[in-house]
Amino acid sequence: MQCLKFSLFISIVFCCLVSEPALAAPGGKIASKFFDGFWGKMLFIGLFILFLPLITMNWLKQNRAIKRTRRDLVLLSNYSDAFNIFNLTERVFETYRRVHTCWSDQNLEGARNYMTEWLLRNQQEQYLNKWKMNGLVNICTIRKITSVEPYGVIHSADLNDHEGTKLIIRIVAKMQDYLKDEKTGEIIEGSEEYKKVSKIWTFTLTEGHWLLSNIEECDTLMSYIKNLNYLPTIESLEKRQENGKG
């Protein structure tokens, strides 16, 4: 249990080094201000130096996960165009921008073709509707998507049927993200400054289309990477399918 907590702490530190935590963008997480201010930043630098070897090890694990996932996507693209890396990346970019635009408009209906029904209802009711009732609006303005990296393919294990396959993607973008009072214009949380924000988005293949099915903070990333060790490779699925035909 202690090892799990320690690994979680390291992954949080690593993610914070790469980007600012999200404020209240899709996913609804309000940022912690623990590392704000002079002493907070000094503490952060000290922790980074102290845990640099473990942070480096996690960085290497992340790179291995990306390489495996890209290889899996190449192999799966032989079975379905849904796994073509260029088409998939375009879909992710389009979904990210569409969801954030609708989020700022306080109405996710315009993103219905990009999200699962469950996630759309959850985000609309859990966050947007409540903020609207309180006269608040979350402004999310994307300047640039700086990184889109795949960290795992959770396949349905049947290469003839890809329905329900999940793809774990880490997205980093430079953006504004703040909560303000609609009437007064007062900023309640965050600032108008553009910062790098990192999130883990899960896409699920549904009737041939990739739909956003979950949004998480980047501290969940290492648990996904660990689970990759227990997932069969696409090569092993191919061999199993060939043996079944034989």
Q: Supply the DSSP string of 54-81, one letter for each residue.
A: HHHHHHHHHHHHHHHHHHHHHHHTTT-G
- pLDDT tens track for 186-225: 998 888 889 889 999 999 999 999 999 999 998 889 888 9
How much is the pLDDT for 36?
Answer: 54
How much is the pLDDT for 190?
Answer: 83
> Which of 175, 169, 221, 170 lies closest to 197 in space, CA to CA?
175
Those residues of the chain that have pLDDT short of 50 are 2-6, 8-10, 12-14, 16-19, 22-23, 30-34, 246
CA angle 224, 64, 43 (to 5 degrees): 70
Question: With contact defined as beta carbons under 8 Å apart, do 65 and 226 qualify?
Answer: no
How much is the pLDDT for 95?
Answer: 97
How much is the pLDDT for 66?
Answer: 95
How much is the pLDDT for 17?
Answer: 47
Dihedrals φ, ψ of 67, to 5°? Answer: -60, -45
Q: Residue 88 burial (CB < 10 Å; 0-12/13-18/19+)?
A: buried
**pTM of the full predicted structure?**
0.80
How much is the pLDDT for 60?
Answer: 84
Residues found in the chain = 246
How much is the pLDDT for 18?
Answer: 46
Sheet strand arrangement including 209-216: 136-154, 166-181, 187-206, 209-216
The strand pairing partners of 206, in sequence order, are 209
Task: Give all strands (DSSP E) within the chain, no chain letters.
Answer: 136-154, 166-181, 187-206, 209-216
How much is the pLDDT for 87?
Answer: 92
